[in-house]
Structure 1
Amino acid sequence: MAIKVKQEIKIFSTLLIFFYSPFLFAQKYSSYDYARLYSLKRCLDINYVALDSTFYKKIPDITSSLVLQSLSPEQMDIIDKKIFELAKDFYKTPPFGSYDNENANQICFFCWELYESKQMKKYLKKIINK
Structure 2
Amino acid sequence: MTITDIDWPALKAAALEARQNAYVPYSDYRVGAALLAVYGTVICGCNVENATYGATCCAERTAVFSAVAAGHTSFRAIAVATAGPEAGTPCGICRQVLAEFSADGALEVLCFTPDGAEARFTLAELLPHAFRLK
Q: What range describes the TM-score normalised by the shorter chain of this pair? A: under 0.3
TM-score by structure 1 length? Answer: 0.24
Identify the structure with bigger relative contact order (alpha carbons < 8 Å, sequence gap 6+): 1
Q: Between Structure 1 and Structure 2, whose CA radius of gyration is higher?
A: 1
TM-score by length of 2: 0.24
Return the structure number with greater strand share: 2
Q: Which has the higher helix share?
A: 1
